[in-house]
Structure 1
Amino acid sequence: MYIKADAFIYPYDKKEGGYLEVRDGRFGEWLETLPAGEDFLDYTGYWIAPGLFDTHVHGYAGADVMDCKCESLEIMSEKLLSTGVTSFLPTALTADFETLDEVCRISVEAKDKVKGAKIQGLYFEGPYFTEKYKGAQNPSYMRNPSEEELDQWLASSQGLLTKMAIAPEREGTVEFITYAKEKGLVVALGHSDARYDEAKKAVEAGASVWVHAYNGMRGLNHREPGMVGAVYNLPNTYAELICDGYHVHPSACEILMEQKGYDHVALITDCMSAGGMQDGDYILGEFPVIVENGTARLKSNGSLAGSILKLKDGVKHVVEWDLADVVEAIRMASYVPAKTMGLEDTCGQIKSGHAADFIVLTPDLELKATFVDGEKVFDA
């Protein structure tokens, strides 16, 4: 089939008008004119963009990765379509070894069962963090990294575990990062009180992503640049960023984008199970959370506990805050996240031969429809 629209969003270009070919569930070429005798799907008045890729999402629509249930991942997969997401990394929290091992097994079972957004890997946000910046995670499980634990998780996940976050100041971190990279993992740094030099050593060992920049890390000081200074200054690294207006002030978002460039900022949600749900009481990991006024906060101390952000809204915020144009904003929520995982040749962009996972947007970035493998799977 061919799709007619007012614009098509490519990673570095917006093609005005024309037609996009979709054949056997994959993208073809963009054409200025429709071939004679061909039918087309008419989205005049709308824009076509690649499906979004959320590389850090704990739950949605009442489901949570830490439920350790295949059904929960199926719910997330289906309901995330309404947020413009067509690919995601189910994200686990800090927990004991056995629980995380079960997350690995369940994720393998779910990967081929899900019918909506595609599971492109598994992300462990922890458990090798520091207690000082625990956030909404249980410090009793935080510990030094273990190659033996990683080996078992990789076996249980059948290689689906592809991203792992650790704190650079933990004992044995450099050796662990080197080992993890040899195993093909993307290593992220966060929930950390590391000094600049400790973060730099971790990056030199192979770490390449910063966990939700600014949040859960030592701040910038002119005498000790800390983790935030490392985020700004170390090249060839990618910063996750939550653009809900609560986790990070828009001006701080702007500074980060200026420091890293649009090609090195990946918009994420860090969403928990209350995403898409009514305000009220929820659980994140093992902790009671209250959701109200657009935020999820721990009942115990009021700290932010993940978010209830929809990734499509993060994109819209960035444009409304005048931090990026539409092409740049969508790139930070699709192509760049894919690139952080080495998956840019699989998903995250409109490209001939790629799976036809895309979204239909109004010019003011409201979601009209979501397609996976060329089939409409969500209609607003």
Structure 2
Amino acid sequence: MHYYIHAAKFILASGLSEQGFLEIIEGKFGKYTKTRPVDTRIVDLGESIVAPGLVDTHIHGYNNHDVMDNDFTGLNEISKGLLSCGVTAFLPTTLTAGADTLNEICKMISSRYKEVKGARIKGIFFEGPFFTTEHKGAQNPRFMSDPSLTAFRRWQDSAQGLLKKIALAPERHGAADFIENVSGSGTKVAIGHSSATYEEALEAVYAGANIFVHTFNGMSGLNHHAPGMVGAAMDTPNTYAELICDGHHVESGAANLLIQEKGIDHVALVTDCMSAGGRRAGEYVLGEFPVIVKDGAARLKDGGSLAGSVLKLLQAVQNLVQWGRVSLYDAFKMASYVPAVSVGIEDECGLIAAGREADFIVVDENINLQSTYLAGKEVYSK
């Protein structure tokens, strides 16, 4: 399989380029040139934009399936459904649950993750269970506890090393020791669902934590007398801040402020999407909790708190561009390369560069998805 793509714009590793030709050879990216190739098939995409496949490092489900169902058929359906969202790589994300339940999910994913037919599974994200009840969100406080290295090592063994990211609350007893050991082993540690003070958050970062979970949401807020977790996220230049840009979790002004403070290279767009993603409004379940989806937001039936989202990652890119502070190139970077870097998989996905797997998407001038490609083959078309 050897051909070239021509398009109006390309989101390349080297920057934004216009009216060029991108080589696809044996499922990988080849050279990029401004000169029209001869004696080679050219796929002309007209006024379209070619961008790297998006990378969602925090997603619980899609199309009425949830990672917590512990069902490979459902996981495969999530993987296939994500192609219609422009996502070509993701981390299936768990919720707080019993240790044995989480262990079985690790076994299921690690034993079959290479069999999925859609977006590639690049690891597992454990969102919990070492959280605090005050900021529990849509997580079950019954299973929350202090961090345990024994439990983590058991899960990682069952995951066959696939557990790439785990989140905890810094104020839990033993958090610093856990963070130091786990981050030292190669798994990224995120902090969130937490009432931690600014100082406690800084201690967690010093110990090795490098990601703030859905920044602003489920954490102690910014106050001029108590900067909290949000203040720590803004004041630690070498960490990554997850951001849910659906217009419900974070207002545009706050999102733009965080991006201004952290810089484009340290804000990772995520969806936190739950099983209602891709479905109509109505009643659903996130983990064990009834959820009502209405007006583009998912909220707990009991209390009305936000319960994940129904956001598509490409919609987050659209929103950022429309909010007016982020360029097209940077918005795509924040939904592909930056999240990949945050969890240490940037050598596998999130970038259009020579020699890499040709996983990419084609969007129109309004950033609406036209098609998705894996290894140079079209696997979704609008």
Superposition TM-score tier, normalisation by shorter sequence = over 0.9
Which of residues 46, 58, 61 in structure 2 aligns to 1:59? 61
Please give the TM-score of this superposition, normalised by the length of structure 1: 0.99
Partner SS state of residue 330, structure 2? helix
Aligned to 2:51: 49
Q: How does 1:202-351 map to 2 (within 5 A)?
A: 202-351=204-353
Which of residues 82, 87, 90 in structure 1 aligns to 2:89? 87
Please give the alpha-carbon distance, in whole angstroms, between the structure 2 residues aligned to 1:180 and 1:127: 15
Whether the 8 Å CA contact 2:201–2:232 is kept in 1: the answer is: yes
Q: What is the identity, as a one-letter code, of the residue corresponding to 2:140?
A: N
Please give the alpha-carbon distance, in whole angstroms, between the structure 2 residues aligned to 1:115 and 1:27: 21
Aligned to 1:76: 78
Q: Deviations over 1:234-280 (max 9, x none)?
A: 12000000000000000000100011011100000000000000111
Q: Deviations over 1:223-243 (max 9, x none)?
A: 211101101101200000000
Please give the alpha-carbon distance, in whole angstroms, between the structure 1 residues aligned to 2:8 and 2:353: 18
Please give the alpha-carbon distance, in whole angstroms, between the structure 2 residues aligned to 1:12 and 1:103: 39
Structure 1 position 109, deviation (Å): 2.6
Whether the 8 Å CA contact 2:221–2:230 is kept in 1: the answer is: yes
RMSD: 0.8
Please give the alpha-carbon distance, in whole angstroms, between the structure 2 residues aligned to 1:118 and 1:163: 16
Q: What is the identity, as a one-letter code, of the residue corresponding to 2:380?
A: F
The list of structure 1 runs, each at least 4 consecutive aligned residues, that deviate by more than 4 angstroms after superposition, is none
1:7 aligns with 2:20: no
Q: How does 1:156-167 map to 2 (within 5 A)?
A: 156-167=158-169
Whether the 8 Å CA contact 2:13–2:353 is kept in 1: the answer is: no
Q: Deviations over 1:337-374 (max 9, x none)?
A: 11101222211010101100000010110100000011
1:119 aligns with 2:121: yes
Structure 1 position 35, deviation (Å): 2.5
Structure 1 position 153, deviation (Å): 0.3
Structure 1 position 132, deviation (Å): 0.2
Q: What is the identity, as a one-letter code, of the residue corresponding to 1:326?
A: L
Whether the 8 Å CA contact 1:86–1:118 is kept in 2: the answer is: yes
Please give the alpha-carbon distance, in whole angstroms, between the structure 2 residues aligned to 1:12 and 1:350: 9
Whether the 8 Å CA contact 1:12–1:327 is kept in 2: the answer is: no
Partner SS state of residue 27, structure 1? strand
Q: What is the identity, as a one-letter code, of the residue corresponding to 2:288?
A: E
Q: What is the identity, as a one-letter code, of the residue corresponding to 2:33?
A: L
Please give the alpha-carbon distance, in whole angstroms, between the structure 2 residues aligned to 1:110 and 1:17: 41
Aligned to 2:192: 190
Mean Cα displacement is larger for which, 234-243 or 34-43?
34-43
Partner SS state of residue 115, structure 2? coil
Please give the TM-score of this superposition, normalised by the length of structure 2: 0.98
Q: What is the identity, as a one-letter code, of the residue corresponding to 2:27?
A: G
Structure 1 position 11, deviation (Å): 4.2
Please give the alpha-carbon distance, in whole angstroms, between the structure 2 residues aligned to 1:322 and 1:66: 37
Partner SS state of residue 102, structure 1? helix
- Percent identical across equivalent pairs? 51
Unaligned runs of 5+ in 1: none
Please give the alpha-carbon distance, in whole angstroms, between the structure 2 residues aligned to 1:21 and 1:281: 46
Please give the alpha-carbon distance, in whole angstroms, between the structure 2 residues aligned to 1:159 and 1:30: 35
Provide the aligned length of Structure 1 versus Structure 2: 380
Please give the alpha-carbon distance, in whole angstroms, between the structure 1 residues aligned to 2:20 and 2:222: 47
Please give the alpha-carbon distance, in whole angstroms, between the structure 2 residues aligned to 1:293 and 1:11: 36
Please give the alpha-carbon distance, in whole angstroms, between the structure 2 residues aligned to 1:294 and 1:46: 27
Please give the alpha-carbon distance, in whole angstroms, between the structure 1 residues aligned to 2:345 and 2:162: 13
Whether the 8 Å CA contact 1:11–1:331 is kept in 2: the answer is: no
Q: What is the identity, as a one-letter code, of the residue corresponding to 1:98?
A: D
Please give the alpha-carbon distance, in whole angstroms, between the structure 1 residues aligned to 2:35 and 2:41: 12
Aligned to 2:28: 26
Mean Cα displacement is larger for which, 2-11 or 142-151?
2-11
Q: Deviations over 1:195-226 (max 9, x none)?
A: 11110010001000000000000011112111
